[in-house]
Chains A and B, each alone.
Chain A
Amino acid sequence: MIGKSLRPLPAGEFDDRKARHLLNRAGFGGTPRQVQALADIGLRRAVDYLVDYEKIDAPAVRVDQFDKDIMQPLARDQRQALRRARRTADEATLEQFRQLRQSAQRADRTQIRDIQRWWLARMIETPRPLQEKMTLFWHGHFSTGYRAIEDSYHMFMQNQLFRYHAVGSFRALAHAIIRDPAMIAYLNNNQNRKEAPNENLARELMELFTLGEGNDYTESDIKHGARALTGYTYRDDEFINFQSPQYQRLHDHSLKRILGETGNFDGDDFVQIILTRPVAAKFICWKLYRYFVNDLPGVPQKPAQQFISDLAKVLRDRNYHLKPVLKALFKSAHFYDSANIASQIKSPIQLIVGAIRSLQVPPRNLSVLLSASELMGQNIFYPPSVKGWEGGRAWLNTSTLFVRQNLMIYLLTGRRPGTHAWQSDGPTYDPMHLIEHLRSPQGMVNLRDAVTHLLGVNLASPPHPSRLDVLVRFAESGGGTLDKAMLVALLSLITATPEYQLC
């Protein structure tokens, strides 16, 4: 029995506009033809197609495509040599170790850039957009930054973990994240041991990852939770073996009292206890709601709150499996409410990936795109803090708006600002395919129809009539010929409208 607020959209109401909304939110948008195809198969099948994506072939991620050994810890004899050099103030040997470390760090910084490019390319190309969209969601949720951990392969492993569990079980993911080397290093659980507990992971596990700040737990739960997590660390790329003497030495085996339960708990017991709390499901569904439905500032309104509660009930009833929740969400009438369409400010990644996927512009230079994304406030693998990206209106200010508009110029023309002249990256873009279907039998395209169509496929909400007028007047003053140059000019203007930033 699902909650009333999750009432599905009547099948007959799933039109092009709603199909575009679905593809924008459950993915990164798409071409008019892709939108049309979703609309044609109907709401239920369209949602299932996007969520049950394992049925779609996608290139597998090769785990050996990146070097896992760049930041390999020192071997035992090296460690001894280093200690000896420190003891005897042997500057020459110390200098050798410093050089070694610095060159490893340099190589690793190069590799994290390779990994950034690889992920961005994957988001642009994937036939399973929801998988990457959810991977990005978990990256922001279980926020971990390269800058603090300085190990690109661990970031890659974590990214793979998010992809693997993307729409799977939140329970499985929560158990996996406390064993994840990148997370362990980021929140200092590698320093969490019996004699000197470090509370960082325990605190964020409850505050940011599962329950929400101040929801249903106390400082004492954090202290005892931290003790349960003692010894949860890793060696090189592997989580510690529970049978190992090292774990036995580091782990606090005494009784803990967490959220009212008492026992000789370890980290996995801690996660299990947390997930018995109804507020955990609610917190996750609130975050999903903000990511997929609406992130307007302020407390969600009554209907939204009911919707989140009903989603949370689905999540609990289905033992934290995410697919039923996502399907209910994407099929609901609430999701397609006009107040929720074109209500989100695109994240920088949404803007970049969405523009490329929808307009079919050449992807240009991935490094330039990544640097634009950073300027717009979203540098993947470098979230600003353990809270991830704030999102919503925080994406947008006068500086980032110019970057957003200029990025679109770059995608459409390949021309980027140098200090002196424009450079051009990649082939010229031919947008003629966007209007081919509007040709009359005589081969003519009506200007007003063409501009209306371009506005319609690029904006998430129906365009304001005055926008149409400005663009038509511009095209007429340029002779009214709908050639390649004119279409690029029109698209440059359309993507520079404030409403283009919404999806």
Chain B
Amino acid sequence: MSDTTYTRRLFLQQGMTLASMAATAPLFIQRSALAMMQPEGSMLSSRPGVPEDHILVVVQLGGGNDGLNTVIPYGTGRYYDARPNIAVPAPGRGAAQQPAALPLDHSAGIGLHPNLAGFKELMDDGVAAIVQGVGYPNPNRSHFTSMDIWHTADAGAKGYGWIGRYFDNTCNGSPVPERAVAIGRTAPLAMHGARQQPVTFETADLFRWLGEDLPAPGGSLNPPYQQINRSSTLDNVDPDSQLGFLMRTALDAQISSDRIRAAVAKQPLVRYPGGQLARQLQIVAAMIRDAMQTRVYYVSLGGFDTHANQVPRHANLMRQLGGALNAFHNDLKAQGNSGRVLTMAFSEFGRRVGQNASGGTDHGTAAPMYFVGDMIRPGLLGQHPSLTDLDQGDLKFNVDFRSVYSAVLEDWMSAPAAKILGRTYSKAPIIKA
């Protein structure tokens, strides 16, 4: 309905050419054409005058990443007491089976998991940061609920996603396909708004009609399929009707599919390591390079729920994380886009301070968040949570994750954080002034 009123309003302002186009052009082409006729910036950005070229990439580490074995408090004896079998040794104390932490801040006794060399390199180059001790009050230890809390930014895990609400509150509130892209099987709750729905696909090659692969009598099914799905209008079809809506969506889908597949088909500028996360970030980098209009990308890596035999599993995940973030940043840098893209990694919770009886760790609370990009204030930000002042064996958080969201929304995406998050949070100073 809002589409209609919107079109009608512009019709009045700008006359016939636009109105006749409204019925035939797909939604997002229509909007970009309209944008060209507006004063510069007013359509393209959430704040007048700010060019819309900032991009956010969210990396979800699903299952509850063990923050204490990622950002390692090797200077604290209590860490080794609580984790006799799974602690990462302090620099200089490593062994063949248990390599030592990479030092980050020697005076504070903080280091990184040895397999995060790729991320350490970014820290050393001043383009990466760690915000320590991030969490929220009354932490929930259920994966699903805690993940939903992070996705909705709501203590009760209710409502639409925070990124979905970002879109609902900007871009004049009208959804544009391709603005939000999630790589994965299903769209994450975080990306769902009342109006905005993300484009979601697992691999670009599946984001298309698969009937074109079928053997068909007399050649391919593709030409008649394209004719049917690209005919954005038919005589006597009211553009406001369900069929009008369906036909526009069908045309949008074809165009998005063309663009995304063309973008992803190109060779990346750097070599990516193996693994699921690297594969996803490679797709994202290709889409950024192709100047897609996407503002938020969402990727994810699972397997962090390390209740048993944690050491080798976590080491593997750390290698994937460090390697993928490093390659992604270098690709963006080679493209000249590393100043436009903020990458943020989080997990639904950290793990308990003490190890359990199975050589693993159980669900905990506060944990670090990880950031990459030229715009980031580099280094270790905030305080490492205390290992002695605990809440029933769990870390106490220092930074509310919504303070981090507020900074990302306001300082990076130029969006009204309080309106999107429902109240004001003190902003975590993570973006360079």
Q: Which of B29-37, B195-203, B397-405, B409-417 contacts A (4 or more CB under 8 A)?
A: B195-203
* Given A399-B199, A402-B207, CB of A374 within 8 Å of CB of B256: no
Mask for B196-222, Cβ within 8 A of A = 1, else 0?
011111010011111101111111010
By secondary structure, the A interface counts as: helix
CB pair B214–A409 under 8 Å, yes or no, is: yes
CB pair B218–A479 under 8 Å, yes or no, is: yes
- Hey, which chain A residues are within 8 Å of B231, CB to CB? 466
Mask for A419-445, Cβ within 8 A of B = 1, else 0?
100100000000000000000000000
CB pair B228–A397 under 8 Å, yes or no, is: no
In the bound complex, what is the Cα–Cα distance between A147 and B189 (angstroms)? 14
Contact of A498 among B221, B223, B249 (CB under 8 A): B249
CB within 8 Å of A: which residues of B? 1, 144-145, 158, 177, 185-187, 189, 197-201, 203, 206-211, 213-219, 221, 223-225, 227-229, 231, 234-237, 242-243, 245-247, 249-250, 252-253, 256-257, 307, 356-358, 362
CB pair A470–B234 under 8 Å, yes or no, is: no
CB pair A398–B228 under 8 Å, yes or no, is: no
Contact of B249 among A344, A386, A396 (CB under 8 A): A396
Tell me how far the C-beta of A47 lies from the nearest C-beta in chain B, rounded to whole angstroms.
25
Cβ-based interface call for A297 (8 A):
yes
Q: Show 12 residue pairs from A and B whose CB-CB distance is below 8 angstroms, ordered by the A residue.
A: A342-B243, A397-B199, A399-B187, A399-B207, A402-B206, A474-B223, A477-B218, A485-B215, A493-B224, A498-B229, A498-B249, A499-B243
Cβ-based interface call for A447 (8 A):
no
* Given A398-B199, A413-B214, CB of A91 within 8 Å of CB of B356: yes
- Hey, which chain A residues are within 8 Å of B209, CB to CB? 402, 405-406, 409, 496
Mask for A329-345, Cβ within 8 A of B = 1, else 0?
00000000000001111
Q: Which chain A residue has the least Cβ–Cβ distance from B209?
A: A405
CB pair B216–A478 under 8 Å, yes or no, is: yes
* Given A95-B357, A399-B200, A497-B228, CB of A502 within 8 Å of CB of B242: yes
Tell me the total A-B contact number using a CB cutoff of 8 A: 142
CB pair B177–A492 under 8 Å, yes or no, is: no
Tell me how far the C-beta of B342 lies from the nearest C-beta in chain A, rounded to whole angstroms.
24
Tell me how far the C-beta of B24 lies from the nearest C-beta in chain A, rounded to whole angstroms.
14
Q: Which chain B residue has the least Cβ–Cβ distance from A406?
A: B210
In the bound complex, what is the Cα–Cα distance between A503 and B126 (angstroms)? 57
CB pair A396–B225 under 8 Å, yes or no, is: no
CB pair B362–A98 under 8 Å, yes or no, is: yes
- Hey, which chain A residues are within 8 Å of B227, CB to CB? 470
In the bound complex, what is the Cα–Cα distance between A492 and B177 (angstroms)? 26
Contact of A148 among B145, B206, B225 (CB under 8 A): B145
Cβ-based interface call for A486 (8 A):
yes
In the bound complex, what is the Cα–Cα distance between A28 and B186 (angstroms)? 26
CB pair B224–A385 under 8 Å, yes or no, is: no
Contact of B144 among A102, A147, A343 (CB under 8 A): A147
Cβ-based interface call for A92 (8 A):
yes
- Hey, which chain A residues are within 8 Å of B250, CB to CB? 401, 498
* Given A402-B253, A422-B213, CB of A496 within 8 Å of CB of B218: no
In the bound complex, what is the Cα–Cα distance between A343 and B240 (angstroms)? 12
Which of B225, B307, B356, B362 has most chain A Cβ within 10 Å? B225
CB pair B242–A401 under 8 Å, yes or no, is: no
- Hey, which chain A residues are within 8 Å of B189, CB to CB? 384
Mask for A43-66, Cβ within 8 A of B = 1, else 0?
000000000000000000000000
Tell me how far the C-beta of B111 lies from the nearest C-beta in chain A, rounded to whole angstroms.
28
In the bound complex, what is the Cα–Cα distance between A98 and B363 (angstroms)? 12
Tell me how far the C-beta of A173 lies from the nearest C-beta in chain B, rounded to whole angstroms.
25
Cβ-based interface call for A366 (8 A):
no
- Hey, which chain B residues are within 8 Å of A394, CB to CB? 197
- Hey, which chain A residues are within 8 Å of B207, CB to CB? 399, 402
Tell me how far the C-beta of B298 lies from the nearest C-beta in chain A, rounded to whole angstroms.
13
CB pair B242–A343 under 8 Å, yes or no, is: yes
Q: Which of A454-503 contact B (CB under 8 A)?
A: 464, 466-467, 470-471, 473-475, 477-479, 481, 483, 485-486, 489, 492-493, 496-499, 501-502
Known: A98-B362, A409-B209, A486-B217. 17 other contacts (CB 8 A): A95-B357, A95-B358, A342-B242, A345-B242, A345-B246, A375-B185, A384-B189, A385-B158, A399-B197, A401-B253, A419-B203, A467-B228, A493-B221, A493-B225, A496-B229, A497-B229, A502-B243
In the bound complex, what is the Cα–Cα distance between A493 and B201 (angstroms)? 22
Q: Which chain B residue has the least Cβ–Cβ distance from A345?
A: B242
* Given A401-B250, A405-B211, A502-B242, CB of A474 within 8 Å of CB of B186: no
- Hey, which chain B residues are within 8 Å of A485, CB to CB? 215-217
CB pair A489–B219 under 8 Å, yes or no, is: no
Cβ-based interface call for A417 (8 A):
yes
Contact of A496 among B187, B225, B235 (CB under 8 A): B225
Cβ-based interface call for A74 (8 A):
no
In the bound complex, what is the Cα–Cα distance between A477 and B217 (angstroms)? 8
- Hey, which chain B residues are within 8 Å of A483, CB to CB? 217
CB pair A496–B211 under 8 Å, yes or no, is: yes
* Given A91-B357, A393-B245, A477-B219, CB of A402 within 8 Å of CB of B234: no
Top 3 A-B residue pairs of the complex, sorted by shortest distance between their CB atoms: A478-B218, A478-B217, A498-B246
- Hey, which chain A residues are within 8 Å of B235, CB to CB? 464
- Hey, which chain B residues are within 8 Å of A413, CB to CB? 214
Cβ-based interface call for A298 (8 A):
yes
Which of B158, B210, B213, B253 has most chain A Cβ within 10 Å? B210
In the bound complex, what is the Cα–Cα distance between A102 and B208 (angstroms)? 39
CB pair B356–A95 under 8 Å, yes or no, is: yes
Tell me how far the C-beta of A196 lies from the nearest C-beta in chain B, rounded to whole angstroms.
15
Tell me how far the C-beta of A226 lies from the nearest C-beta in chain B, rounded to whole angstroms.
16
- Hey, which chain B residues are within 8 Å of A102, CB to CB? 307
In the bound complex, what is the Cα–Cα distance between A470 and B221 (angstroms)? 11
Tell me how far the C-beta of B352 lies from the nearest C-beta in chain A, rounded to whole angstroms.
12
Cβ-based interface call for A296 (8 A):
yes
CB pair B243–A417 under 8 Å, yes or no, is: no
CB pair B208–A297 under 8 Å, yes or no, is: no
In the bound complex, what is the Cα–Cα distance between A297 and B214 (angstroms)? 37
- Hey, which chain B residues are within 8 Å of A415, CB to CB? 214
Tell me how far the C-beta of B325 lies from the nearest C-beta in chain A, rounded to whole angstroms.
25
CB pair B224–A471 under 8 Å, yes or no, is: yes
In the bound complex, what is the Cα–Cα distance between A417 and B212 (angstroms)? 12
CB pair B243–A498 under 8 Å, yes or no, is: yes
Tell me how far the C-beta of B196 lies from the nearest C-beta in chain A, rounded to whole angstroms.
9
CB pair B228–A496 under 8 Å, yes or no, is: yes
- Hey, which chain A residues are within 8 Å of B186, CB to CB? 374-375
* Given A95-B356, A402-B208, CB of A470 within 8 Å of CB of B228: yes
Q: Which chain B residue has the least Cβ–Cβ distance from A416?
A: B210
Q: Which chain B residue has the least Cβ–Cβ distance from A379?
A: B186
Q: Which chain B residue has the least Cβ–Cβ distance from A145?
A: B144
Tell me how far the C-beta of A288 lies from the nearest C-beta in chain B, rounded to whole angstroms.
19
- Hey, which chain A residues are within 8 Å of B246, CB to CB? 345, 396, 498-499, 501-502
Tell me how far the C-beta of A184 lies from the nearest C-beta in chain B, rounded to whole angstroms.
18
- Hey, which chain B residues are within 8 Å of A478, CB to CB? 216-219
- Hey, which chain B residues are within 8 Å of A98, CB to CB? 307, 356, 362
CB pair A398–B252 under 8 Å, yes or no, is: yes
Tell me how far the C-beta of A331 lies from the nearest C-beta in chain B, rounded to whole angstroms.
24
Mask for A168-180, Cβ within 8 A of B = 1, else 0?
0000000000000
In the bound complex, what is the Cα–Cα distance between A478 and B215 (angstroms)? 11
In the bound complex, what is the Cα–Cα distance between A417 and B205 (angstroms)? 10
- Hey, which chain B residues are within 8 Å of A499, CB to CB? 243, 246
CB pair B253–A398 under 8 Å, yes or no, is: yes
CB pair A344–B217 under 8 Å, yes or no, is: no
Q: Which chain B residue has the least Cβ–Cβ distance from A498?
A: B246
CB pair B217–A409 under 8 Å, yes or no, is: no
- Hey, which chain B residues are within 8 Å of A481, CB to CB? 217
- Hey, which chain B residues are within 8 Å of A297, CB to CB? 1
Q: Which chain B residue has the least Cβ–Cβ distance from A339?
A: B241
- Hey, which chain A residues are within 8 Å of B199, CB to CB? 397-399
Which of B158, B185, B253 has most chain A Cβ within 10 Å? B253
In the bound complex, what is the Cα–Cα distance between A413 and B198 (angstroms)? 29
In the bound complex, what is the Cα–Cα distance between A452 and B237 (angstroms)? 20
Tell me how far the C-beta of B173 lies from the nearest C-beta in chain A, rounded to whole angstroms.
14
